[in-house]
Structure 1
Amino acid sequence: MRLFTKAWTAGVALATAGALAACSGAGGAPSSAGGGGGTADDPVKLTVWSWDGTVELAVPGFEKANPGIEVEVVNAGSSSDEYQALDNAIQAGSGVPDLVMFEYFAVPYFAIPGKLADLGPLGATELEADYVPSAWNNVTIDDGVYALPSDYGPAVMFWNEATFAKAGIKEAPATWDEYYEAAKKIRALGDDYYITQDTNDLFFLLSLIWQAGGRPFEVDGTTVHIDFSDDGTQKAVAFWQRMLDEDLVNTKISAWSDDWNRALNDGTLASQNMGGWLTSTLPERAPDAKGDFRVSLMPQWEEGEKVGAENGGSAFGIPEAAANKEAAFTFLEYFTHGEGLQPRVDAGAFVPNTSVLDSPEFQDVRNPYFGDQKTGEVLAEASNIAAVGWQYPPFFEWARSTYADIATPFYTSGEGSLAEVLQTWQERSIEYGNEQGFTVD
């Protein structure tokens, strides 16, 4: 079977077919050059690739507790740059780091052809109980554990209570029907007022589909099924199409832009459905809205339900070609589960560990920016109710870039429909996956 034989396209490096052969040895005994560690005079030296600055905070405590291991944390660039550099290093047979950070959707790309070590034999399976189910689902493929979750993005709604009150709405919408009615009332406040914005936000759309029960991607090894026609997907897409058709969503303001900051700051953009990680950055983007914003669960499709989804998150894995697997796992366990976790949480990392999320220290703290709300309670619940069973195709890094190209005309000029965008995306993804040697239908 020919797998991963083309050059990087749209930022995705594709390894040689030889990488697939390594899959048979992915679950074998770890090949650590120095066992768990060396000595203080001759330490094992680990290289960690990460764009998460909180990981470095765990290094001093780890090195003190493990004098036979030294850790260097290197920022290898953006996620796409890092993935490309890792594939290049694996193909070259040199320069492979000991630990690498991945967005959850990128784990299958590296795990399925055997480029990541199965962490089960190193002790990862014993840690499952400390992670919320959906986060653990993100790092397990078939019977293997190929990474440990390091940060998380439960989908929640950030809403401006003052703007909602101005529109006569006293509480956060509990259902998407209520959200629709709220959107109309907020839109009636004036030309600049919208309940939210969307300029081609794939991960929001997927979280909407995810929560509605849609499962458009099914992956079994190298066999991939892509289908956006299931009931959950259709329900979510039809709802969002209605919101767009009725001009209830601002399609001119892009997230992370200066205009976005201004609209959040002055209240004309009344809410955002995003990952819980926005809790730490919203105060910087909308300082004048201090005391106005609140955090709530995503609206539900049926009244009384409590079903969530994800919007972002990352994990760390150990390349199969890494020389110091045991030492690498010792550090991985330390900063994702052990004593190195708290310094990262104190610095603002949002982690999916139940030991953190269920603790009074996390849930009982009142957040002055959010009107002294106990935001931790909401974020913990959102993390625990995120539905399991979601999968990403192993070529999703390519697919998300392609989606942007397909969807842009729809958002900028109203060409076609959201359903047509997804149909085209499905067709191109199937074609691409088969070209890469997968069996995709």
Structure 2
Amino acid sequence: MRLSSKARLVPVALVTAAALVACTSTGGGGGSAGSEGDGGNAKLTVWSWDGTVELAVPGFEEANPGTTVDVVNVGSSSDLYQSLDNAIQAGTGVPDLVMFEYFAVPYFAIPGKLTDLTTLGAGDLEDDFLPAAWNNVKLGEGVYALPSDYGPAAMFWNSATFAQAGITEAPATWDDYYEAAKKIRALGPDHYIAQDTGDLFFLLSLIWQAGGRPFTVDGTSVKIDFSEPATKKAVDFWQKMLDEDLLNTKVTAWSDDWNRTLNDGSLATQNMGGWLTSTLPERAPDAAGDFRVALMPQWEAGQTVGAENGGSSFGIPEAAQNKQAAYDFLEYFTHGEGLQPRVDAGAFVPSAKVLDDAAFREVPNEYFGGQATGAVLAEASKAAAVGWQYPPFFEWARSIYGDLASPLYTSGQGSLAAVLETWKQRCIAYGNEQGFEVS
């Protein structure tokens, strides 16, 4: 699950890598108020911005008499990370379970702020989750969170607009996408195949799918490289789209103008996470029946390679006092009987058993013209390539990217490659200032 950029207001304050290496848990000073340890009367506090987690609480409490679960929304993801850091440093008020975007797991896991869930039995669950999702929560031999929701990168395309351009099928390759972009652009001055005002997560998913791995992390050692051939291929392609005026660089995602262009069909595709299936109908109700979902276009015909665009997990702080009870609830709503109520409410989960279930794959979606969107998104999820890593200071890194990219999108100054190079140098300097070994 990814939040809109408007929800990411405050980058988390990072401590130095020396402190990361040296620090351990704050001991028993954390835990929720009134905690009674892992006995039969545990009182669990869960920090989450995912409203579907609450739906698993009644069943869990019924199955575990005496245990109560309080799910608290502490704000945006950035707010949550900051609050957790503050609680850990203060040694009080640490919750029992915390939601993390996948890229945030290393920041808390590397210094020992998260419990290694293999000590509680999580290692036995690996085969039940998508490989790419599991990769996101595993560092070395440890597992520091369980995947809870997922954003397989997919293409949402307006079949009516494509038909006006004489195209009846979704672009199968990025070359096809480029040719379609030119035909759609010819429909009128406001028609574009896509918009982009500096979407970092889309660009990274494009690089991810192409085989680029610009971030390499080994403990506190980090390498950043945007010059590798696969990364350069993805960046050069999107630069070509910008150079030839095939992208709308005026309309920002999540804005009223974005809703309008999706509604009237002048914006023909949106490359985002599969979670867009749940929000697109409310943002573009006039386009009901026109949109379809497809896999990301491929770099080579006949391939089926995907990437991620968002997703979240839950971990147990090392300072939590109710670890076993917290893990029991975590397993319940990410893997056990508490999973289905969340799926029924619209959660997109990286569970192999859910994605293989006919009840998920074969249900027609009226908004998408009766298409069985679940089957497409299940395939996109399984196609996500493994091996991707984020640097442990990515929360800070993403907070500065927009300002660096803005001149390119507002006035055509520079290039994507130059933006990434500047971003890399800023990240290297910042990471080394924090005590990491970044090159």
Q: TM-score, normalised by structure 1?
A: 0.94
Match for 1:148 among 124, 133, 146? 146
Which residues in structure 2 correspond to 1:142-221 (within 5 Å)? Answer: 142-221=140-219
Mapped pair 1:440 → 2:438: yes
AA in 1 matched with 2:21:
L
In structure 2, do the counterparts of structure 1 residues 108 and 52 end up closer, same or farther at CA, with 3 Å as the change threshold?
A: same
User: Does the 8 Å CA contact 2:25/2:318 hold for their aligned counterparts?
Assistant: no
- Residue 274 (structure 1) aligns with: 272
- Residue 253 (structure 1) aligns with: 251
SS of match in other structure, 2:370: coil
Which residues in structure 2 correspond to 1:35-434 (within 5 Å)? Answer: 36-38=38-40, 43-434=41-432
Q: Aligned equivalents of 2:355 and 2:58: distance in 1? A: 24
Q: Aligned equivalents of 1:141 and 1:34: distance in 2? A: 30
Mapped pair 1:13 → 2:17: no
Higher mean alpha-carbon deviation, 10-19 vs 96-105, is at 10-19
User: Does the 8 Å CA contact 1:10/1:398 hold for their aligned counterparts?
Assistant: no
User: Does the 8 Å CA contact 1:37/1:68 hold for their aligned counterparts?
Assistant: no
User: Does the 8 Å CA contact 2:36/2:43 hold for their aligned counterparts?
Assistant: no
AA in 2 matched with 1:189:
L
SS of match in other structure, 1:269: coil
Q: Aligned equivalents of 1:120 and 1:90: distance in 2? A: 22
Q: Aligned equivalents of 2:339 and 2:361: distance in 1? A: 17
Instruction: Measure how far apart 1:12 and its partner are.
Output: 1.4
Structure 2 gap ranges (5+):
1-8, 28-34
Q: Aligned equivalents of 1:393 and 1:410: distance in 2? A: 25
Q: Aligned equivalents of 1:343 and 1:319: distance in 2? A: 26
Instruction: Measure how far apart 1:385 and its partner are.
Output: 0.7
Q: Aligned equivalents of 1:18 and 1:181: distance in 2? A: 52
Instruction: Measure how far apart 1:15 and its partner are.
Output: 3.6
User: Does the 8 Å CA contact 1:15/1:91 hold for their aligned counterparts?
Assistant: no
Instruction: Measure how far apart 1:398 and its partner are.
Output: 0.3
SS of match in other structure, 1:378: helix
SS of match in other structure, 1:11: coil
Q: Aligned equivalents of 1:212 and 1:280: distance in 2? A: 27
Instruction: Measure how far apart 1:21 and its partner are.
Output: 2.7
Instruction: Measure how far apart 1:22 and its partner are.
Output: 4.0
Q: Aligned equivalents of 2:398 and 2:158: distance in 1? A: 30
SS of match in other structure, 1:244: helix
Instruction: Measure how far apart 1:18 and its partner are.
Output: 4.6
SS of match in other structure, 1:370: coil
Q: Aligned equivalents of 2:66 and 2:208: distance in 1? A: 44
Q: Aligned equivalents of 2:411 and 2:339: distance in 1? A: 46
Q: Aligned equivalents of 2:196 and 2:280: distance in 1? A: 17
Instruction: Measure how far apart 1:343 and its partner are.
Output: 0.5
Q: Show CA shifts across 1:3-41 (max 9, x none).
A: xxxxxx952122465553345999xxxxxx756541xxx
Q: TM-score, normalised by structure 2?
A: 0.94
Q: Show CA shifts across 1:76-132 (max 9, x none).
A: 110001100000000000000000000000001100111111000101111111111
SS of match in other structure, 1:368: coil
Q: Show CA shifts across 1:332-372 (max 9, x none).
A: 00000001100101111000000100100000101011111
User: Does the 8 Å CA contact 1:36/1:330 hold for their aligned counterparts?
Assistant: no
Q: Aligned equivalents of 2:320 and 2:418: distance in 1? A: 43
AA in 1 matched with 2:77:
S
User: Does the 8 Å CA contact 2:26/2:89 hold for their aligned counterparts?
Assistant: no
SS of match in other structure, 1:96: coil
SS of match in other structure, 2:195: coil
Q: Aligned equivalents of 1:438 and 1:164: distance in 2? A: 48
Percent identity between matched residues is 76
Q: Show CA shifts across 1:217-251 (max 9, x none).
A: 00000100001000111000000000000000000
AA in 1 matched with 2:196:
D
Q: Aligned equivalents of 2:427 and 2:198: distance in 1? A: 18
- Residue 3 (structure 1) aligns with: none
Instruction: Measure how far apart 1:409 and its partner are.
Output: 1.2
How many residues of Structure 1 are paired with residues of Structure 2 in the alignment?
423
Q: Aligned equivalents of 2:13 and 2:68: distance in 1? A: 30
Q: Aligned equivalents of 1:408 and 1:69: distance in 2? A: 50
- Residue 29 (structure 1) aligns with: none
Q: Aligned equivalents of 1:307 and 1:286: distance in 2? A: 28
Instruction: Measure how far apart 1:404 and its partner are.
Output: 1.1
AA in 1 matched with 2:395:
E
Structure 1 gap ranges (5+):
1-8, 27-32
User: Does the 8 Å CA contact 1:132/1:352 hold for their aligned counterparts?
Assistant: yes
User: Does the 8 Å CA contact 1:310/1:386 hold for their aligned counterparts?
Assistant: yes
